[in-house]
Amino acid sequence: MEDSNIIALFWERSEEAIAQTASKYGRYCKYIADSILHSEEDAEECVNDTYLRLWNSIPPEKPILFKAYIAKVVRNLALNRYEASHAQKRGGGAVEAVVDELDFCLSDPSQDGEEMENREALADLLDRFLGDLKPEVRKVFVRRYFYAASVEEIAESYGMSVSKVKMTLLRTREKLKKYLEKEGISL
Amino acid sequence: MKGQDLFEAMGKISDRYIEEAAPDEKTLAKNDSGKNVINISEAKRSSRRKWYQNPRVLGGLATAVALILLTVIVLPKVNLITSNGAQYASAPSHTKEGGSYNSGAEYKNSGVAKEEQDRQKSEDNVATEKATMAGNTKEEYEEEIKGINFGQYAAFPILSNTYGNTGTKHVSSIACVVDLKKEKSVMNVSYTTTLGQTYSAKSSSFSKQTLSSFLKSTDVFATGTNAPTAINWSSHSDISLSDLVGEYQIYGSAPVSERLTADLTLEEFLTDDDEEVIILVMDFQEDSLSYLVKRSTDPDVQELFEWYHDKCLGPP
C-alpha cells in the first residue's frame, strides 16, 4: 500500500492504518529500535509505542515522507527508553560508542553555555553539513549516527571493508568538527 | 554541548537523508522476529505492559524456576550409562576425586565410588583371563596395562609401528586426543589403514590438515547434530559426540573447529601429565563415521586400549 493511502487511513481513524504500517514498516521500525536498545523485548515494545504515537499524531500531522517520519518517531522513542533504562549505568553500550565518537566533533564537550540555542542550531547545521557531503559518505555517516548501525553492518551493506568504513567515519567527523567550530558551536 | 546532543540532533536531519541511508531489505530481514502488532488495541496493551506481562521478567522467572528444578531434582540423578550396563557420573571429577593414569604408575582412584572399584576389580579379572589366553602371565599383562598412561596409550601405536603415508582413502580409523583443559590442545595421534597399518599423525602431512578439514566438512563437531546414526562400536559408545561437544562448552573453551587446527606436538602433549584428556577414536566407513569417546579417568579406558590394540596392532 502506498504511504499516502496509509496516511489516509490514519486520518480516517481506521485501525487498518496500524496493520498496514506494521506490514510495510514493522521490520524497519524494529531495526531502528533494536540498533539503539539491543533488546528484543524493549525493541518490540518501542515499536508498539511507535504505532501508538503515530496513531495519536496523525492527524493532525500529515507527513510528506512517511518512512523518515516513522524513523524519527521510533528513534526518539528508543532513545527515551534507552536513557531511562541507562540513567544510572552509563558506558559500554552501542549508543555510548556512537556518542563518544560524536564527542570528538565538539571542541569542548563539557561546555554548557548557550546550550539550548546551540541545540536548536545544531540540527540545521548538521543538515547543511550533510548536504555538502558526497552521497556515499553521507549514507555511511547517517547510517552510523542516525541509525546507530555497527561498523560491520555498514561495511556489509555498502560493500566496503570495515577499515574503510572506520576511516570514512573518522574523516567525516574531523570535517564536521571543523565545520562546527567555524559555525561557532561549542567554542 | 556534548556528543549526546549531536546524536540527538541527528534525529532532526532532513527526511531525504534518512531515507537515503535506510537499510535494505536484506539487513531488515536479519533483524526480523516476525512479530507484528495488527491493531491499535494491541499496540496500546503491548506498549503499556505491566511488570508481570514483560517477557523479560517472565523469562527470568522461568529461568530461575528451571534452574532450581534442575539443581534439586534432575542433576543428582544424571548419570551416563554405558551400553554394557556400567554407570559413570557425568560430571568430570578427576581433579579432586577421580583416578588418573600416571606415567609408569599404577591406577589411583582415591575418591572413586565403590561400584566403580568393584567394576575395576571385575575388569582386572577379565584382563587376567585374557592375558592367560594370550599366553602371558597375569603379572606380565598387568605390567603392560598399568604402565600405560593415557598419553602412552595414545602414543603406543606410533611407538610400535611407523610406516609411510598411503593417502587418505585407505584410512579406516583415527585416534584423536583432546585435552579439555588447555586452550590449544587437540591433536590426532594416529590413524590406521584398512590394511591394519597404523601411522603416526605427527610425522604425516595427513594428520592435522586432513583431519581438521574432514571434521569441518562433515560439521560433526560444529553442531553435534550430524553425528552418524550407524555406530559400529556401540559397545564402546558410552558418551555421545554431542555430549563431547557439550563438555567443550561447559569448559568454556574455544570452538572445537578452532581447536582442531591447534598446533601442539606430541611431545608437548605427553609431557603434560596432569591434564584430563578425552580420547576420540573415529572409524571411517564408506558412508558413515563411527566413533567412540573415553575419558582418561574412565575405569574402562583399558578396555579401549585392548580394543584399539587388537584392531590396529593385533592381540597383545
Q: Mark whether A78 and A100 lie in a shared domain.
A: no
Of B120, B3, B297, nearest to A90 (Cα)?
Answer: B3
Which has more pLDDT, B311 or B59?
B59
The CA distance from A54 to the nearest CA of chain B, in Å, is 10
pLDDT category at B164 given cuts 50, 70, 90 is: very low
Q: Mark whether A68 and A136 lie in a shared domain.
A: no
Q: Mark whether A75 and A146 lie in a shared domain.
A: no
Helix intervals (H) in chain B:
3-9, 15-20, 25-30, 40-47, 55-69, 114-133, 138-146, 150-160, 211-218, 220-223, 241-250, 256-259, 266-270, 301-308
B77 close to A (CB below 8 A): no
The CA distance from B51 to the nearest CA of chain A, in Å, is 12
User: Is A80 inside a domain boundary?
Assistant: yes
Total domain count, chain A: 2
Residue in the structure block whose three cell numbers are 560493500: A159
B50 close to A (CB below 8 A): no
Q: Mark whether A109 and A32 lie in a shared domain.
A: no
Model pLDDT, residue A140? 93
Model pLDDT, residue A139? 92
Per-residue pLDDT 10s for chain A (187 aa) are: 888 888 899 888 888 888 888 888 888 888 888 888 888 888 888 888 888 888 888 888 888 888 889 998 999 888 888 877 776 554 456 677 777 777 666 655 444 445 555 666 788 888 888 988 888 899 999 999 998 888 888 988 888 887 778 878 888 888 888 888 887 775 3
User: Is A187 inside a domain boundary?
Assistant: no
Q: Mark whether A100 and A156 lie in a shared domain.
A: yes
The pLDDT tens digits for B4-19 are 778 888 888 888 889 8
Model pLDDT, residue A22? 87
Model pLDDT, residue B57? 65
For chain A positions 50-109, those within 8 Å of chain B (CB to CB) are 51-52, 55, 64-65, 67-69, 71-72, 75-76, 79, 95, 98-106, 108-109
For chain A positions 125-144, those within 8 Å of chain B (CB to CB) are 126-127, 130-131, 135, 138-140, 142-143
Of B262, B294, B281, nearest to B192 (Cα)?
Answer: B281
Q: Mark whether A119 and A175 lie in a shared domain.
A: yes
Residue A55 belongs to a domain with what CATH number? 1.10.1740.10
The pLDDT tens digits for B234-252 are 222 333 333 333 332 222 2
B61 close to A (CB below 8 A): no
Q: Give the C-alpha separation, A34 to A20, whole Å.
A: 21
Burial of B191 (0-12, 13-18, 19+ CB in 10 A): buried
Q: Mark whether A52 and A34 lie in a shared domain.
A: yes
The CA distance from B38 to the nearest CA of chain A, in Å, is 4
Q: Percentage of chain B surpassing pLDDT 90?
A: 0
Pairing of strands B87-89, B171-179: unpaired
Q: Mark whether A158 and A79 lie in a shared domain.
A: no
Which has more pLDDT, B20 or B36?
B20
Domain boundary among A85, A105, A125: A85
What is the overall mean pLDDT for chain B? 44
Measured at the alpha carbon of residue B159, what is the angle toward residues B157 and B163, in degrees to the nearest 5? 75
B39 contact partners, CB below 8 Å, separation of at least 6: A15, A18, A19
Q: Mark whether A12 and A80 lie in a shared domain.
A: yes
The pLDDT tens digits for B135-155 are 344 454 344 433 333 232 222
Model pLDDT, residue A24? 87
Paired residues of A154 in beta bridges: none
B15 close to A (CB below 8 A): yes
First to last CA, chain B: 82
CB contacts of A27 in chain B (<8 Å) are 28-29, 31-32
Q: Give the C-alpha separation, B304 to B80, whole Å.
A: 17
Residue A145 belongs to a domain with what CATH number? 1.20.140.160
Model pLDDT, residue B76? 53
Domain boundary among A85, A103, A126: A85
For chain B positions 22-41, those within 8 Å of chain A (CB to CB) are 22-24, 27-29, 31-33, 35-41
User: Is A146 inside a domain boundary?
Assistant: yes
The pLDDT tens digits for B61-118 are 777 877 777 666 655 554 433 333 333 332 232 222 333 322 222 223 333 444 555 5
Residue in the structure block whose three cell numbers are 496493520: A19
User: How many C-beta atoms lie closer than 10 Å to residue B152's C-beta?
Assistant: 15
B156 contact partners, CB below 8 Å, separation of at least 6: B148, B305, B309, B313
The CA distance from B52 to the nearest CA of chain A, in Å, is 13
Of B227, B228, B163, B217, nearest to B192 (Cα)?
Answer: B163
Domain boundary among A85, A120, A155: A85
| Strand ranges for A63-153 from DSSP E | none
For the stretch B101-109, contacts whose Cβ atoms lie closer than 8 Å and that sit 24 or more positions apart, written own/partner, are B101/B148, B101/B149, B101/B150, B101/B153, B101/B296, B101/B301, B102/B149, B102/B273, B103/B149, B103/B151, B103/B152, B103/B273, B104/B147, B104/B149, B105/B146, B105/B149, B106/B146, B107/B146, B109/B299
Q: Mark whether A76 and A105 lie in a shared domain.
A: no
Q: Give the C-alpha separation, B4 to A156, whole Å.
A: 26
CA of residue B303 relative to chain centroid, distance: 20
Domain that holds residue A163: 94-182
The CA distance from B66 to the nearest CA of chain A, in Å, is 21
Which has more pLDDT, B183 or B34?
B34
User: How many C-beta atoms lie closer than 10 Å to residue B86's C-beta?
Assistant: 18
Q: Give the C-alpha separation, A146 to A107, whole Å.
A: 21
What ipTM was predicted for this assembly? 0.83
User: Is A16 inside a domain boundary?
Assistant: yes
The reply to whether residue B5 touches residue A76, judged by beta carbons under 8 angstroms, is no
Paired residues of B290 in beta bridges: B283
For chain B positions 95-114, those within 8 Å of chain A (CB to CB) are none
The reply to whether residue A149 touches residue B47, judged by beta carbons under 8 angstroms, is no
Model pLDDT, residue B84? 37
Q: Which of A30, A109, A127 sits opposite B32 (nearest CB)?
A: A30
